[in-house]
Amino acid sequence: MDETRAALDHTLLDWVADTAGGKIVHVDRRPGGGRREAWVVDVETPDGTTLPLFLRYDRLDPAQRGDPFTLHREAQFYRAFADSPVPIPRIVGVHPTEQAILSERVPGQAWFSRLTDENERVAIASDFMRILAEMHRVDPARLELPDQHPGMGLRRLVEHEIDVWERIYRDAGGKSDPLVELALGWVRRNIPDAD
């Protein structure tokens, strides 16, 4: 087994192979993603087809640290956007206990900063904005998140979101930051009174 593949636990690799229904023939870690690792994985099925897959993996379970933004939660967004105008890779599997998502791999690169052609930059930025608008058109009830209630008013949803981020900030255990304290107070006083 090569060094790159050895960086992943064999039980996770077994899960990838079982979930994809084949044998892993290539594994390579990609840069970026912060603590959430990105891996390209090729799986060969019994009929000889090679499946290009993408594994997102977080070795540190954020839920154990009170961080609600887990990969399991992220997978719910992938599923909610399926069959919508939002282009999203198909989820192949979500690990039942580890913070890992296995999806189809889509071609392309995520490095907007490397584009040098201005027309290409404008086209991609415009497409990004179109997709962002489509995301906001998706019915939030499709998310089925336990801490989100689509019927709740906008004001309460915004208060909830501020509460989440403030709790993450305070639980980090660092020294209080006057600018963050000022910002938290400002956003709480300026929540839109609208639905």
CA atoms of 95 and 114, how far apart (whole Å): 33
- Quickly state the pLDDT bin for 4 (edges 50, 70, 90): low
Which residues partner with 94 through β-bridges? Answer: 101
Most confident of 10-19, 34-43, 172-181: 10-19
Mean pLDDT, residues 171-188 taken together: 92
Pairing state between β 23-30 and 36-44: antiparallel
The CA radius of gyration of the chain, in Å to the nearest whole number, is 20
pLDDT tens digits, 22-53: 999 999 998 877 788 999 999 999 999 999 99
Distance CA 41, CA 160 (A): 37
CA nearest to 185, candidates 160, 166, 161, 158: 166
Interacting residues of 20 by C-beta distance below 8 A, sequence separation 6+: 41, 43, 45, 51, 53, 92, 93, 102
Strand ranges, E, within 9-89: 23-30, 36-44, 50-58
Instruction: Please report which confidence band the pLDDT of residue 156 belongs to, taking 50, 70 and 90 as the band edges.
Output: confident
The answer to whether 167 touches 66, Cβ cutoff 8 Å, is yes
Q: How confident is the model at residue 174 (pLDDT cuts 50, 70, 90)?
A: confident
Confidence band for 1, pLDDT divided at 50, 70 and 90: very low
Measured distance CA(41)–CA(62) in Å, rounded: 24
Q: What is the pLDDT of residues 81-108, one digit of tens each?
A: 988 899 999 999 999 999 999 999 998 8
How many angstroms separate the CA atoms of 87 and 78, rounded?
A: 10
At 73, which amino acid appears? R
Helices (H), 41-140: 71-81, 118-137
Element (H, E) at 5: helix 3-6
- For the record, the structure tokens of 137 come out as 């058109």
Cβ neighbour number for residue 81 with a 10 Å cutoff: 19
pLDDT at position 153 over 90: no
The pLDDT of residue 63:
66
Confidence band for 2, pLDDT divided at 50, 70 and 90: low
